[in-house]
Amino acid sequence: MIPFIDLKRLHEPIKNELMLAIKRVVDSGNFILGPEVASFEKEIARYLGVKHAIGVASGSDALLLSLMALGIKEGDEVITTPFTFFATAGAIMRLGATPVFVDVDERTFNINPSLIESAITSKTKAILPVHIFGQPSNMSEIMMIAKKHDLFVVEDACQAIGAEWKGRKVGSIGDLGCFSFFPTKNLGGFGDGGLVVTNNDEFADYLRKARVHGAKKKYEHQFIGINSRLDALQAAVLRVKLKYLNYWNAERIKIAQEFNDLLRERFITPFVLKGAKHVYHQYALLVKEGRDEVLVSLRKKGVMAGVYYPKPLHLQESFLSLGYKKGDLPVAEEISKKILSIPLYPEVKKYFLEVNLD
Ligand SMILES: *Cc1c(COP(=O)(O)O)cnc(C)c1O
């Protein structure tokens, strides 16, 4: 059986190093924020090429806190993609603001920049692109539109740590960048964790307070924040794993290229934009006809493929109040019917060679 993702296998070669890092935290008796988190923030800021990195409790909180830093509130609109994990738009709604979904590019599955301008209104405050599956959105066009209309840009880079747009790490290009350390992400902790990055001193200062209930120092609360901190244990694990991230991402790219060679005749294999470094958080292809049959056939053979995402956000029950209906965002809807993610392991190749998919 080939699981969709096998974390035991990933960690096996570095287990001793991970256990030592955990022991260091246990011995320190310091579990929330503290020096371990501060060191991790420094190291990852350097890796991403940003001035500030602020560790938080999850990728979802990273998004929420970023929008809070921008002062997004009821009545504001934020332009985003319908083809993403729930958290992206959930954060907008949680603040009482309105997500405005713009359809995606059928090749990259990311927000289609040529459709953004017509979605801008006097209420629009920000654009929230997602680098879905590890492929950068077209940040040149998005930043240009944002500049022209005086909008903020928050990057949801939760699936794309290490990915680059024209040589710059994603997350470092917009006003704020959000990352998740959910265990299955390209850089995952041993539990929940997240990060906001920015080059803006004021946003960084706000975020460092916002994650501890708006406190500038203990028991001095300047404003109403939330409780969202990165644990020292997670930071210790992430510091070890960060050293291997480039190697792991390179491995993913190599396997993806092998899959491309094997599968491009039968499927629509991932398209990579010029200027983009795709880190294949997922290897997602489009099955022109009979996606569900291919999924079942692979699973029968023990290849645990999956569908991300079967329902775009504009059709989710929780967003009914926004008034979208089937057919409003045809590209995202079509992709949800045809997309298939396969486990990114070299052994999967042999299954594809064996399986008769016709
Ligand atoms: C994983 C993910 C998130 C949320 O991250 P959590 O750490 O699970 O809260 C947000 N956006 C996208 C695109 C993600 O893939």
| Model confidence at 202: pLDDT above 70 | yes
Q: What is the pLDDT of residues 66-87, one digit of tens each?
A: 999 999 999 999 999 999 999 9
Which residues sit opposite 179 in a β-bridge?
Answer: 195
CA–centroid distance, 17 to ligand 1, in Å, is 27
Residue 358 pLDDT exceeds 60: no
pLDDT at 30 > cutoff 80: yes
What's the distance, CA 162 to chain centroid? 11
| pLDDT given at position 139 | 98
Which residues contact ligand 1 via a Cβ below 6 A? 58-60, 84-85, 87-88, 130, 156, 158-159, 180, 182, 192, 194
Q: How far apart are CA 271 and CA 256, in angstroms?
A: 11
Residue 354: what pLDDT? Answer: 72
Residue 333 Cα, ligand 1 centroid: separation in angstroms? Answer: 21
99-121 pLDDT per residue, tens: 999 999 999 999 999 999 999 99
**CB burial string 186-208: b at 16+ within 10 A, e below:** bbbbbebbbbbbbbeeebbebbb
Q: What is the pLDDT of residue 40?
A: 98
On the 0-12 / 13-18 / 19+ scale of CB atoms within 10 A, 240 is middle
pLDDT digits (tens, 9 = 90+) for 259-316: 999 999 999 999 999 999 999 999 999 999 999 999 999 999 999 999 999 999 999 9
- pLDDT band at 356, cuts 50/70/90? low
pLDDT digits (tens, 9 = 90+) for 1-11: 899 999 999 99
Distance 87 CA to ligand 1 centre (A): 6
Smallest CA separation from ligand 1 atom 2, residue: 158
65 CA distance to ligand 1 middle (Å): 13
Residues 123-173 have pLDDT tens digits of: 999 999 999 999 999 999 999 999 999 999 999 999 999 999 999 999 999
